[in-house]
A = this chain, B = another copy of it.
Amino acid sequence: MATGRTHRPATRSRGIPEATVARLPLYLRALTALSERSVPTVSSEELAAAAGVNSAKLRKDFSYLGSYGTRGVGYDVEYLVYQISRELGLTQDWPIVMVGIGNLGAALANYGGFASRGFRVAALIDADPAMTGKSVAGMAVQHADELEKIIDANGVSIGVIATPAGAAQQVCDRLVAAGVTSILNFAPTVLSVPDGVDVRKVDLSIELQILAFHEQRKAGEGQEEDVADVDVAGAVDAGGSAAAAAAATKQTRKGPDGDVPAVMPA
């Protein structure tokens, strides 16, 4: 009890690991699918396969929520759906505002996944007066001036930012000042927020870059040691940045661990 932790007193039992929380929506989705097919129960093995994780992890995850299974049988689908929904806070209604109704914002507004899970788009907001009044996803876009009023009137505590990077921090500040305490950020910027405000970010290009890293590595399979220049898919070089090449010469760079100095224009 009273685990003298600095971040979050976590009374006693409410210590659900962040990694587990991040997987609950996944389980929920798999369970919802089963529920729609009227499957009454699942084993940890089956559900884990459907959610794309391993079964030991799933059982451990569920153990943080309580003992919701039946030994020798498995889990009751409907019951688990309810428990996880409740744990995630989806049994209540979450009004959200979306700021920045460009291509991405419109796509998000049209995205069905929100409404189906307790989220309700209370307003679409854009700073461009030309957008005001336009209908997106069956909803009139409102001007940024209305932001505070809308947040207040609807008791909004979650905001979604889909503006260009340059506007994001400013929008964020206004959201926070108006009472929003959770932000989902699609703009490619680091947002700074006061303590007590949560920010999660989704950066589309970051994901691709991570894939590129692994993809590049695949090409260099088989033999290592000679990291020289394995060229993938016919693309040889494309010389990243000329300035970088210049800067490179003035430094005593050292490869990974005394390895080859890597491909670099002398």
Over the window 83-97 of chain A, the binary record of Cβ atoms lying under 8 Å from chain B Cβ atoms (1 yes, 0 no) is 101111111111110
Query: Is the Cβ of A207 less than 8 Å from the Cβ of B184?
Result: yes
Query: Is the Cβ of A104 less than 8 Å from the Cβ of B93?
Result: no
Over the window 145-169 of chain A, the binary record of Cβ atoms lying under 8 Å from chain B Cβ atoms (1 yes, 0 no) is 0000000000111101000000000
CA A86 – CA B217 in complex, angstroms?
11
Query: Is the Cβ of B117 less than 8 Å from the Cβ of A209?
Result: yes
Query: Is the Cβ of A213 less than 8 Å from the Cβ of B91?
Result: no
Query: Is the Cβ of B240 less than 8 Å from the Cβ of A86?
Result: yes
Query: Is the Cβ of B119 less than 8 Å from the Cβ of A257?
Result: no
Is the C-beta of A131 less than 8 angstroms from some C-beta in chain B? Answer: no
Is the C-beta of A60 less than 8 angstroms from some C-beta in chain B? Answer: no
List A residues 72-103 near B (Cβ within 8 Å). 76-79, 81-83, 85-96, 102-103
> Given A107-B103, A155-B235, is A79 in contact with B182 using a C-beta cutoff of 8 Å?
no
A105 to chain B, nearest CB (A): 8
Query: Is the Cβ of A238 less than 8 Å from the Cβ of B92?
Result: yes
Partner of A247, one of B76, B234, B248, B259: B76
List A residues 99-125 near B (Cβ within 8 Å). 102-104, 106-108, 110-111, 113-114, 116-119
Q: Count chain A residues whose beta carbon lies closer than 8 angstroms to a beta carbon of B.
A: 120
Q: Which residues of B sit under 8 angstroms from A253, Cβ to Cβ? A: 66-68, 79, 83
Oligomeric state, in number of copies? 2
Query: Is the Cβ of A204 less than 8 Å from the Cβ of B251?
Result: no
CA A92 – CA B233 in complex, angstroms?
10
A6 to chain B, nearest CB (A): 10
A98 to chain B, nearest CB (A): 11
8 contacts between A and B (CB under 8 A): A67-B254, A78-B241, A81-B241, A89-B232, A106-B107, A116-B205, A200-B207, A202-B202
Query: Is the Cβ of B90 less than 8 Å from the Cβ of A25?
Result: no
CA A236 – CA B188 in complex, angstroms?
35
A207 to chain B, nearest CB (A): 5
